[in-house]
Amino acid sequence: MVEPVNGTNGVKPTAEQWRPPMLPPEKEQLPLWQWDPSNRDKGTQVEKTTKPDEAKKPEKKEDTNVKPTPHKVNKGFYAATQDKNPKISGKDGILANNGEKIRKSDDPAGTVADAVISTKSDAAETAQMKNQVRQMIIAANPSVFEKDGSLKKDKDGKVIADLGKLDLPTKSHLLATLDKANPKRTVIPKGFYPAFGDKDASINGLTESQIRQNEGKKGSETCGAVQVLNALLKTKGAQFMASGERKAALLNDLVRKNPSVFDESGRVRKNADFSKLDVPSLDYMEEAYGKLPYKSSKPVVIGNNGAYAVGTGKDAKFYLANGKEISAAAFKNNCPSIYKSVTGEA
């Protein structure tokens, strides 16, 4: 009599029919799919923990980039969502995470302009050209930006900007539009020259967002004119400008001769044209301010917000950045700490 082979009545089982021998009770038997038929005479179990059809598939990462919104694209522009450059649509690009970099920026239009320029590096070489790119982007995207470059809002102040409609200028359009050699300008004041023509990157590289960056910041406000003034004094190495009186005179000059950039308090105008920003030459500064005393009989203290005080105590007088005199109350409201140090009054 033929001994039954593993419950198959003497017929040698196929690999599919074969069942493993009984295991000790303390070892739970595994289902058939966890046994390797090639090892059936040994009764060995395969090191498997999941069924083949249950093997984990790679998880698809959710695409969080800004999604395109159907719209009419202006001539010379293209939809930003079509740009494959990493600085635009990459994981760290401006469209990543639903446009997080743009939405969190203090200057949304400037952030977009910087990204455009960095991907078309030879399209804008100076500060005034960078500002032109920014203005170009604002004008072409009324559903994304307000006129000042902030994100579009409804009448209640809620942001309604649709980044899916964001359009960017093509490189050829930039090159055709930007006037590199002879930008349209008003008459340049004597002794001044276009800021974008300065050889020092600290001057020609100034962007609108850098000049505006501290305006309106409580406790650390620095108006745009003072920001430019500080850059000028740093790059020119004009030691003779060390006195407060000379700095105040230069600040007056800078503000008065750039009416299309600064208001009378030295703050950047809402629709400032930085292509017209002019700065004084070193020769002009020496001639115009070199004769002023290093130390005035009436000390001059300039606030970062552009206002300044001349003199001390009850004789102190107060001025805006352009040299216009203001009341003590108005100065105290703008520069409380300087007012206290000058007058001794809280």
pLDDT in tens, 140-179: 999 999 999 999 999 999 999 999 999 999 887 877 777 5
pLDDT above 50 (res 237): yes
How many Å is the Cα radius of gyration of the chain?
35
DSSP label at 172? H
SS3 41: coil
What mean pLDDT comes out for the span 44-62? 55
Strands (E), 62-188: 77-79, 167-169
Q: How confident is the model at residue 333 (pLDDT cuts 50, 70, 90)?
A: confident
pLDDT at 317 (0 to 100): 86
**Which range has the worst mean pLDDT, 26-40, 207-221, 251-265, 323-337?**
26-40
Average pLDDT for 227-254? 77
Burial of 323 (0-12, 13-18, 19+ CB in 10 A): middle
Query: Is 192 a residue whose pLDDT tops 70?
Result: yes
Residue 143: per-residue pLDDT: 93
Q: How do residues 288-306 score in pLDDT, each as one tens digit?
A: 776 655 555 667 788 777 7
Which of the pair, 70 or 344, is modelled with greater confidence? 70
According to the model, what pLDDT value does residue 163 have? 93
Residue 181 pLDDT > 50, yes or no?
no
Of the two residues 182 and 205, the one the predictor is more confident about is 205
* Reported confidence tier of residue 182, pLDDT bands at 50, 70, 90: very low
CA–CA separation, 309 vs 342, rounded Å? 8
Residue 90, C-beta contacts closer than 8 angstroms, at least 6 positions apart: 96
* Distance, CA of 311 to CA of 315 (rounded, Å): 6
- Higher-pLDDT residue of 158 and 7 is 158
CA distance 246 to 290: 8
Q: Read off the pLDDT of each residue in 36-58 and give the average, rounded to a whole number.
A: 53
Highest mean pLDDT among 88-97, 170-179, 221-230, 335-344: 88-97
pLDDT tens column, 69-115: 999 998 899 999 999 899 998 888 999 999 999 999 999 999 999 89
**329-345 mean pLDDT:** 83
- Model confidence at 45: pLDDT above 70: no
Greater pLDDT, 102 or 215: 102
Across-strand partners of 193? 279
Cβ 321 vs Cβ 306: under 8 Å: yes
The single-letter DSSP state of residue 159 is B
pTM over 0.75: no
pLDDT higher than threshold 90 for residue 57: no
